[in-house]
Structure 1
Amino acid sequence: MPAVSIRTSDPDEACGRCGEVYFPHRLTVLHDPATFRMSLSATRIGPVSAGLLSYAGEVRLTTGELETGYEINVPLDGVLYTRTSRGEVCADPGLAAVYSPDTAAMLHGWAGGGSLFGLKIDRAALETQLADLIDAPVRSGVRLDGSITLRQGPGRQWWALARSLVELAREPDGPLSRPMVARPLVQSVITGLLHAVEHPYRDRLVTCPRRPPPESVRRAVELLETEPELPWTVVDLARRSGLSTRALQEGFLRHVGRSPMAYLRTVRLRHAHADLVAADPARHTVAGIAGRWGFVHLGRFAAAYRERYGSAPSETLHRLG
C-alpha cells in the first residue's frame, strides 16, 4: 500500500479509504452530515500500517472480525469508547485500545472532533516475532489484553518508541522512511508491544534464553561488519546467525558488551567517518552522509560522532575533505 493522504466530506469515501488502510467497517455519522469531515495520513512499512485519523464530529465505526491483524489505537485528544467481545475500553491519550484477531470491534467517539494514531500489525508478523522471541511455537490468534497504559512502565516506553511512527505517518517520505531506519524501527515497535501488553506468553519473554555458542555470535558480528548497509533488524540477524532473537541479544551482551543494534550503530558511525574524511565538501553534506548510514537525527549523530572522534562531523568534512 502506498502512502495515503486524504481529506473528505463524503462518508462513503471516508469509510472506503480508511478500510483500505485498516479494516473494512461500517461508518455511522452521529452529527449533522453536512459538517462531516475526515482526514487520514497513513503509510505502510512491511507488516505495519501506521496512520493519523481524525473526524470533525461524533461517529461510530463497526467492524467484522479482524481476521488479518492486530490493531492499537491511541487517541491524541479526547476519549474513544471501544467495545469487542472481550470487553470495553474508554481509550484516551494515556490509555491505548488494543484489538486482537477473531473478534469484531465497535469504536465510538469524536463528539467534539479529534484524532487518533492507529497502528495495524499483520497477524503473521506479530505471531512469528513472538515465537522467535520465546523460541517456541505460538498458537495462532494471540489474545492481547484490550488496553495498554501509556503513562508508566513498559507501556510508556513502548509509546515513546511508537511515536516515531506517528512522525512517519505525518511525513511518509521523510528520513524515517529509509529502509535502514524504518525496518528496525518496525521490529522494535512490535517487540516493545509484546513486552508492554498482557498476553498468555508474556511471562516467557523474561525467562533466560539458552546461552548461544560464541561462534554464532562471531558470525553475527562478521555479518554486521561486512554488510552494514543492509537494513538489519535483530530478527534478520538472528536468523542469518542460526539463533533465536533472545539468544542473539544475550550472546552480544555476554561476548560483545552491547546489543546487536548498538554494535551496528558503531560500525555505521565508523563508515560515516570514513565517508566524511573522503568527501568533497562542495558536493556532499553531513546530513547526506549521516542519512546514508541510517542516522536521521543529526543532533544525536553529531553527539555520538564527537564522543567517538573528538570533533564535529562538519569539522571533519571541511578540514579533511
Structure 2
Amino acid sequence: MALASSCLTDHIVRDAPFACNAHQIRTVEAFDADEHAHNLTDWEQSYDQITPGHFHGTLAELQLPQMQVFLECTSQAVRQSCCVWPDAFWFGLPEQSDQTRINGRLAGEHAVMVRPGDCEFELVTPSDYTIYGIVIRREALLQAAELSGSRIDWAQLTSAEVMHVDNSSRTALLQTLAGLLQSDVGCTDSDLRQQVLLNALLALLDTSAVDSAVSSSFQRRQRIVAKARDLVLAQHDQAITVPQLCEQLFVSRRTLQYCFEDVLGMSPMQYLRLIRLNGARRHLRQASSKSLTVQDVAADWGFWHFSQFSSDYRKLFGRSPSESLRQRSH
C-alpha cells in the first residue's frame, strides 16, 4: 500500500481541485438553507427549504490530497440541486437513506448514493438529516482499485444513482468517516488517512450491486416535474396556477399530481408555493439595491396579497421577510 500512497501524492501536486489543508477540519454553520448550500467547497449547489421553522445547518469538512470528506447536518427538509467538480465521483451515505430521494427515487434502506462529477443531480432530504459524503478524483479511485485488485464496473458506476451494499462494509466506512471527522487529534499524515479511507471505500465497492434500472414511465414523470420547475422559474412573477401548468405541459391534473407525488413526495400546489417562497427569500437576502422593498420582491415572485405573503413566509422560515432583507448579502 505504500506504493499507492506515493502514486496518489505524486498526482496531487498537479491536479488537486481545491486548496488542500489536510491537517485541519473546517467546520461552519448556517441559518439559511441556500447559504448553507454554498458552504461546501467547490460544489455548485442551491437549496430550497421545504418544512416550516428556523433552519440550522452544520458542516464539517476535511480535505485530503485527492479527496474531500464531509459530514452535513440540516434541521429542515430540503430540496437540493447539486453538482460536483469534473473528473470525480461523489458517494453519499445518509443516516436516513430510506427517506432520501435522489433524482426522484427513494434511495432505500442502507443504500449508498453515487454520482459522477460535472453532472447535476437532485436530492430531497427529510428534517433532522445527517449525511456523510466523499468526493474523490476519478484518477485516484481508478489507480487505487487497480493497485488493490478491486473489480469495479466503471460504466455502471458512472451511470448509477444508488448502490446496494453489504451492510458490514457500509458500517465500516461510516466508522472510518466518523473517526476522520471527529476531531483533529490523532494521525495527521494526510496520505495515510486517505489510504485508510480508500481501503474502506474499495471494500464497499467490491460488495456493491448497482441499482441503475429506471423505468421509462418514471423517466417521463421526472421530465414532467423538471419542465414544471423550469416553467415556474421562467414565469415566477405571474403566480402560475396548477391548471395553467397542466395546460402548458399538456397533461391532466391527475397526471401532474401523480408525477409530483412520485418524484418529490409533495403536491404540485405545495411545490409551487415552496419554490416561489424560496425564490423570494433568495432574492431578499441577495438584494444589492438599498431601495428594494419587501413589496418589490413579493410582486416579483407573484405574491400580490402582501399580508398573506408575509404570513406564509414567516410560517416557512420562522422570520419575517423584512428580517431577511435586513440580513441581505453585501
TM-score by structure 2 length?
0.49
TM-score by structure 1 length?
0.50
